[in-house]
Structure 1
């Protein structure tokens, strides 16, 4: 069977669905092909025990709250509503102290002040600096590279000396940035722990930028969650796409991107179905999946294939969900109101944890990132109970045995038991997804890598996913990379999908589209040294 449409989107993760919606809004005839049995990718929910709803991968969404791409889609009209926990985040130290990030800057300042006199005022100063640059900075980071207009607004928003300091901040390790600004460990843990939401340790170049941005997003927007579960983001995107006349097919794995004459012509599904694309093929898949599997090597430049060998994934992940018959009995009361909880280690422990991962060893004292979902959204479980999740990273390996996964789960649960005695007795249901299980659920999560590739500076901007333009365009005409492997990378903000849709729309314009493609091709030739 053969079908012809304006565009084919491969993959129904949130990026693919954002792209599909934008193209449908432009009156394109769009079909989305999803390999698995459900849309959503890493943005899905499921019941893990009767009455307990858990998010299967991502859960808290500061980047979604700040995302221009998602805001433009106005998903509230399609059932999406947001809610917040009383506190954004708490980092619980091994000695029982905690530092709390709250949407009220005064409360955050009071919390960090408890660790060192003057740190409260320093926190307010750091946040004031953020507010001066937040809008043009986020627009610069989320738009295709180079983001000329947002960058110009960013330059105008502050003196040249401050811009230089901002660039300096982006290059610093989170621990060094914190030492430069703060005197106590509380603020240092907020910045460094949030940096580890990526795969960057607190002593690694670039982690300061990630920790600062995440902390300031939490301060400005909080860490909101969708009422009813992460899957409500996907449901709203699917509903909006359907209302615009789009077609979504699940259980339709793509075997090949059909290419001829240097142009993407469509897709061939595993069952032999051919879907021709008049205007574009957009792929919400990882870069290695696109270039190493869906597109035959004969259609790709040799330099790109050579660079692909140097593509770096982020760390593997183990994710645990619990259904609890009561709230977590924390010995530190202020942790009970936090949606996101960091626990297990202090700053030295964060460094040891990151070092073990870099050395390829399972951390003996893991840094645990947890989410109290019912605390953030009471619809997630019965009154007085809690749906809780946690994840931690493991080094990348070809295979993790069930025994190794179980041992690491025991380490994580021992940390909870230490800080919340009686935790184990509250568990009425548990779901464990190790690296291999995460990949089975979502083939983009290669060996449990949840960010589409490392967030390290050598694989960002013009280097993401490979040395090139830092854009959604590929060397093949009318083929676009729309996943977290593309600039600006991981996180639920929809920017890779939006950037791919914009590129496809620009290429399709009469006359101007040919100029656009000529510029893109010239860029690729420079990268290839031609």
Structure 2
């Protein structure tokens, strides 16, 4: 009789763990609270018929460099890699553009071009080493110490006020804003070393593999993983919300059965006989600010004042470095400014399948305090209108998901935190506990497989794969690699 593996949560990480274990001949069942699989990689008609919106994640900078996705063969999907990885509109019709071509970006940044090249080139030239270094818990010795040292130096250079003064990096309004828009993805105080680490990782991808997204929406990623799971004998148990693991029949750990959680780590504490020390460590794990999102159905393209902004699927709307930092620091202190930082995706500029002919879909969120009930529609619309006069006239319909609604929709997003935990250096070391094997819990057969474990947030499947690999090592004494399962 095959060993059983039960996966709670069908996000990209849960599905990655599921397909790995199914290929290792486990009898796999994936339990999902929603009516469809996918977690943060779902696509749905949220506004009007024919307008397909990504429910959470839309653009996936780390997808094409992910060792798991590469081994699984997700490169077979129809990926769109924009010529402009991201754009940053500025007042007066100006814009800074991060072209995938680093040299083109350098030319466009003028006086800040050499500094941009100096920061990015040593990292994007060694993207695999950067991904390896950042994709594992930081308490172990890196396999590529020179790349790790370069990365750390640049963190200090761009992520601290002292580094800014000493190195004088990004002195122009355009260069400073272009960098800060990326750093703000981390949803934490700015400047900070943690945000700098996130920004450098994203910039290395922006000027190499690019910030890609699949034609048809993020659901195509989930669909490919689900198809493989079913092909290898696995099953999906949808519309089944699990809030107490003590009542869940997941098998016999003494027989080698497994329970993997693509969920908030605190769900593991509902099991019986959780060691007190582990419970305290999990309770100390902190969650960060949240995201409040609006999806727009538009009757045409966003009328950006600067036409180059239309070349990028991802747009950072927030103005100057000072304005973005003021916005993000206000959120960290429990508030929201009148001119917030907005992360915007306009997928249909390059993907006609996302909206009816001549129309557009738009996805945008701002950061808010955890649990917020703020409807962000007006704040987001005002910021877009600032750089695209006439935007409001293009709106046909909207769909709102507040931070509180996000938490209700997906209990793994505590308070609406879509990053799986507060993004700090301390929690890079302790994610969610300080351990060389953070996916393993003290409860036999139970493993964590969510973004709250290394390497953290993003649609890349790596936390799920690393949890599955750890489980296979512990229960079968087999050190299976990706090539063993997908080669």
Using structure 1 for the length normalisation, give the TM-score.
0.84
Check the 8 A contact 1:339/1:372 in 2, yes or no.
yes
* Alignment-derived partner of residue 394 in structure 2: 426
**Cα shift readout 1:179-213 (whole Å, capped 9, x = no counterpart):** 63333232322222112112233312322111111
Q: Secondary structure at the match of 2:58?
A: coil
* Alignment-derived partner of residue 192 in structure 1: 180
* Alignment-derived partner of residue 483 in structure 2: none
Supply the distance in 1 between the matched residues of 2:278 and 2:6 (Cα, whole angstroms). Answer: 23
**Which of 256, 280, 287 is the aligned partner of 2:258?**
280
**Which of 135, 143, 164 is the aligned partner of 2:128?**
135
**Cα RMSD (Å) of the superposition?**
2.4
* Alignment-derived partner of residue 114 in structure 2: 121
Give ranges in structure 1 of 5+ residues lacking alignment.
Answer: 259-267, 514-530
Deviation, 1:165, is 4.5
* Alignment-derived partner of residue 427 in structure 2: 459
511 and 122 in structure 1: CA distance in 2 versus 1, 3 angstrom threshold = closer
* Alignment-derived partner of residue 168 in structure 1: 153
* Alignment-derived partner of residue 412 in structure 1: 380
Deviation, 1:364, is 2.2
For residues 280-359 of structure 1, the aligned pairs below 5 Å read 280-291=258-269, 294-296=270-272, 299-359=273-333
* Alignment-derived partner of residue 38 in structure 1: 36
**Which of 462, 468, 484 is the aligned partner of 1:495?**
462
**Which of 436, 440, 445 is the aligned partner of 1:478?**
445
**Cα shift readout 1:37-79 (whole Å, capped 9, x = no counterpart):** 11111110111212211101110001111110111111355xx
Check the 8 A contact 1:45/1:54 in 2, yes or no.
yes
* Alignment-derived partner of residue 361 in structure 1: 335
Supply the distance in 1 between the matched residues of 2:385 and 2:466 (Cα, whole angstroms). Answer: 45
* Alignment-derived partner of residue 108 in structure 1: 105
Q: Secondary structure at the match of 2:180?
A: helix
* Alignment-derived partner of residue 522 in structure 1: none
Deviation, 1:85, is 3.2
Supply the distance in 2 between the matched residues of 1:200 and 1:390 (Cα, whole angstroms). Answer: 18
Using structure 2 for the length normalisation, give the TM-score.
0.91
Q: Secondary structure at the match of 1:201?
A: coil
* Alignment-derived partner of residue 440 in structure 1: 408
Check the 8 A contact 2:137/2:428 in 1, yes or no.
no
255 and 289 in structure 1: CA distance in 2 versus 1, 3 angstrom threshold = closer
Check the 8 A contact 2:472/2:478 in 1, yes or no.
no
**Which of 64, 77, 92 is the aligned partner of 2:89?**
92
Higher strand share: 1
Supply the distance in 2 between the matched residues of 1:168 and 1:387 (Cα, whole angstroms). Answer: 40
Check the 8 A contact 2:122/2:150 in 1, yes or no.
no
Deviation, 1:471, is 2.1
- Greater gyration radius: 1
Supply the distance in 2 between the matched residues of 1:163 and 1:491 (Cα, whole angstroms). Answer: 20
Deviation, 1:418, is 2.2
Supply the distance in 1 between the matched residues of 2:124 and 2:206 (Cα, whole angstroms). Answer: 12
Supply the distance in 1 between the matched residues of 2:281 and 2:156 (Cα, whole angstroms). Answer: 24
Give the number of equivalent residue pairs. Answer: 474
